[in-house]
Structure 1
Amino acid sequence: MLRQAAKRTRTKRAPPIEPALGWTYLSREALSRAKAQMDEESMGVRDEIGFLTIHQRYADRFFPGTSVLHTRARYAIFVPWLFEDLAGMVGPAAQRALRERERLLAGRLSDAGEAQVIGGRVFPKPSSQPPSTVYWNALAAWAILRPRPDGRTISRGQAHGLLKTVGSPIDDDGQPLLSFEPPFVRLPDRPSNWQSGDITLRLKKAEAGFLRERLAQLRGNGGRELSLLARLVRTEAAAPAEMWANETYAIAGADQGPLVRAQQAASLAGIGRAIYDALLERIVEIDDKRDISTRHREHLGVILAEQGPIAAGLDIAALEADIGSLPAKLLAVVTATRDWIAAGSGNPVALSDVYTAAEARKGPRARLAPTPNGRARRLEWSSDEHGLAGPLHYRWQQVSTLLDDLADPE
């Protein structure tokens, strides 16, 4: 059942009612798989070699609770408000009511001219990834959603149940018959236009202060140090121009070294993706004997010149100390790619075996494989339509938007 729930979380087209999507508790492993899939899909790539492992681990270390599906900070307050508005409802009725409230919110935000509305593109249809799905992990990580007694994240169904319990009958002395903490911490007051009228994604000052207080306490690196996100929030400034800006390094504290390695790994992964695409073009042309452009092979030279000097300095042992041991085949790819960059060859053919072995984890979907399945998968691949490879971004665009929202409330 858990696998089924995780699979539904990843599905882009969802049926009108999805009981397993939010109402069944997902294990941490299932959530991690779903999160990685969302990262992959939102980045517009298939992660053939496994570089998104590096992306996700560094992003989770630096920016806990964030997701590539995040848009604006105010959703982290909108979602708890929506749940509290439905206090007293549980089960399928609560699910349907929440889905409808999220759908209507998307319409109101779109009518107000907002451009980063979750569900705005499909309105008046409901979104398959509504705000309560997209931000649920953030609410837990940012200590807005209280954990279960065992420390795990409560499900949306459990949150509705707790909200109903909070309003339980009282005894003759006016005391609740049963006492439970509500699922959410005390939230900022709702604005007068919360239920109807124009509403935007710009934070109010009290809302920004509430989120800043929560985010400023976030820990990274196993809880031993303040996270980079917490340090950035504490500056109360808009986002630096880029993740690798001097302002970022100046406040990074214990994350200065990992930040350097994260940039090196981002560059190496960008080159690695370009190597994969170049190898694929070559196989199509030479082994499959089909006409194909040299677009990705030419791009390999460009990205190698841009990112190679950064990637060549990567200390792989230190990288694993930062984010944990890499899977064996990914480690082999990272090591071979760094050594290949340092050697200055420029010809990716020497990396064919290690890249083919790493992609084998895809089974029959692997494209580099010299098999009938590999040939069939290559027939589905279009060099001209496939995006050019670039470095990992560690969700910096989403983090930048979050910081800018906090720095500019109304």
Structure 2
Amino acid sequence: MTSTLNWLDFSAEEQRRTREMLRLFEEKESRDELGIGQVRDAFSDLLFPGTSVLLTRARYFLVVPWCGQYADSTAHYRRGRQTLDMVERRALVALKAAAPGEPGIIGAYAGTAVKNLPSVLYKQALERYGIARPAVESGVLAEEAVGEQVTRDAPGRWVSSLPVAPPGFPDAIDGGVRLSLEEASWLSEQITVATPDSYLTHVLLSEWPVDGVDWPWSHPAVETAPTEMASVVMDAELFSLAMHGAALLYNLLISEWYESKDLSNVPSPVETYRSALDEWAEQALAHPKRSSWDTAAMWQRVMSQNPRVEGNIRARRFISDWLEGFVRGDVDGIADDDACRQLIKQRERSIKGAQSRLANEKLLRSWAGASGSRRLTYRWSNVAALVADIHQGLESSDARA
């Protein structure tokens, strides 16, 4: 059967990275102003494989293959043949109608004119969890041809255990974006089997809720994590804490130049960021593992996940220099530390050149008060939403015949 899957010609990983970068760029406080994104993403993939900041609700893991199956079922029609694109747009209308006001509805505002459809946003995750099994042009399954790219109109398969689509699909979707008990059980098993040793699976299988948990390392499941998994979580936490200080110092430097130019659209930014750095220093000094953090082991874990990090010499040098100060330096004096200030200035200018906010007065005047100032969470808000969906489905008595 000819599949209706129609992915772009460059690799799935490149597609996902590009869309994630654009999504993060839209969120000013989450921008990667200091070029640490490669390491951030390596940690994200170590903790939560298959995820991205583009994922919203867990039921799309079923809606997309249901759309593919429906489109394939019309392939033999001369008139009325439905492409995956067409079926997805019908399904989006049905989801919106079934779940008015629910968060995470793709196309909630754009409707059928939405540009990025679920099949594109969820492609990498569907493959990672063994739900979608695309083939390359030669007909060999992608998992049997590591490194090859998925080509346009390549044949594909959906896992045979996929629960049946609800009656009336795609023009009616009972339950909207909420999983039934059967669907939640199936999806939990797919993720668990595909990523058995991940923190994602550990959190998913725990009995603890994710609601109200702000950070992955704050979830109670970390207390029962195996040794290596716990080490990855600890590395991610300390890296997030350390680089938050760098981000705050960067914003302080912008603030000082901003106020020196008598700009006032952003009220008292110097005071704001000095206060934020004081709070950050208190957190850093209070962390019991900061001064004993094995950053060499951290780098080994990161480079094992993404070997390309090793070749990014400038980023590694900048991060290593900053981490050295974080682990062994005087963190409570960082706001006025000349070496730290110079390190941040040089790094930002080496990345942006003429577009540096520390050198380009035009960009300075358009500054909104925060540039990459938010602490790294490694997609936690997206992951928590997916896990919450699955947990709620598992607690449901609605099997939806």
Q: TM-score w.r.t. structure 1 length? A: 0.76
- Superposition pairs of residues 66-77 of structure 1, within 5 angstroms: 66-77=51-62
- Return closer, same or farther for 1:32/1:75 CA change in 2, 3 Å cut-off: closer
Q: Does 1:398 align with 2:371?
A: no
What is the deviation of 1:281? 1.3
Tell me the equivalent position of 2:298: 319
Give the equivalent residue in structure 1 for 2:7: 23
Counterpart in 2 of 1:169?
A: none
2:340 maps to which of 346, 351, 354: 351
Amino acid at match of 1:243: P
Question: What per-residue deviation string (whole Å, max 9, x for no partner) do you get for residues 265-293 of structure 1?
Answer: 0111211111110111123334x565563
**Contact preservation (8 Å) 2:52, 2:379:** yes
Gaps of 5+ in 2: 304-308, 397-401
Instruction: Look up the match of 2:357.
Output: 367
Deviation at 1:388, TM superposition (A): 7.9
Are 2:263 and 2:365, in contact at CA under 8 Å, matched by a contact in 1? no
On the 8 A contact 1:55/1:394 being kept in 2, the answer is yes
Change (3 A) 1:397 1:377: same
**Is 1:376 equivalent to 2:362 in the alignment?**
yes
Q: CA deviation at 1:53?
A: 2.4
Contact preservation (8 Å) 1:25, 1:155? yes
2:114 is aligned with 1:127 = yes
Q: Equivalent residue for 2:202? A: 231
Residues 1:248 and 1:139: Cα distance change in structure 2 (over 3 Å): same
Q: Give distance in 2, aligned partners of 1:157 and 1:116.
A: 28
1:8 matched to which residue of 2?
A: none
Which residue identity lines up with residue 368 of structure 2 in the other structure?
S
| CA-CA distance at 1:118 after TM superposition | 1.4
User: What is the total number of aligned residue pairs between the two structures?
Assistant: 355
Report the secondary structure of 2:113's partner residue.
coil
Instruction: Give the distance between the partners of 1:263 and 1:358, measured in 2 at CA.
Output: 22
1:117 Cα deviation after fit: 0.9
Displacement of 1:212: 1.4
Query: Distance between the aligned counterparts of 1:366 and 1:89, measured in 2?
Result: 53
| Aligned counterpart, 2:105 | 117
Letter in 2 for 1:158: D
CA distance in 1, matches of 2:148, 2:104: 27
The amino acid of 2:126's aligned partner reads: L
Distance 1:43 1:199, change over 3 A: same
Q: Is 1:255–2:229 an aligned residue pair?
A: yes
Once the 2 structures are TM-superposed, how far is the Cα of residue 67 of structure 1 from its aligned partner?
1.0
> Are 1:136 and 2:133 an aligned pair?
no
Whole-angstrom distance in 1 between the partners of 2:233 and 2:107 = 34
Structure 1's unaligned 5+ residue stretches are 1-20, 163-181, 220-224
316, 327, 336: which one pairs with 1:331? 316
Q: Does 1:97 align with 2:72?
A: no
**CA distance in 1: counterparts of 2:13 and 2:119, whole angstroms:** 20
Partners of 1:39 and 1:322 in 2: how far apart? Answer: 26
Identical amino acids, percent of aligned pairs: 22
Residues 55-93 of structure 1, C-alpha deviation per residue, up to 9 Å, x if partnerless?
211110111111112111111000110111111449x96
With 245-254 and 51-60 compared, the bigger mean Cα shift is at 245-254
CA root-mean-square deviation? 3.1
Distance in 1 (CA, whole Å) between partners of 2:84 and 2:134 is: 21
**Counterparts of 1:141 and 1:233, CA distance in 2:** 16
**Local SS of the residue matching 1:146:** strand
Instruction: Give the aligned partner of residue 179 of structure 1.
Output: none
Query: Does 1 or 2 have the higher relative contact order (CA < 8 Å, sep 6+)?
Result: 2
Q: What's the offset of the Cα at 1:345?
A: 1.7
2:49 equivalent in structure 1: 64
What's 2:162 paired with? Answer: 187
TM-score (structure 2 length as normaliser): 0.77
Change (3 A) 1:330 1:283: farther
Query: Counterpart of 1:216?
Result: 192
Residue number in structure 1 paired with 2:96: 107
Change in Cα spacing, 1:218 to 1:254, as seen in structure 2 (3 Å) is: farther
Q: 1:312 to 1:284 in 2, by over 3 A?
A: farther
The residue identity in structure 1 corresponding to 2:248 is A
C-alpha separation in 2, matches of 1:29 and 1:131: 16
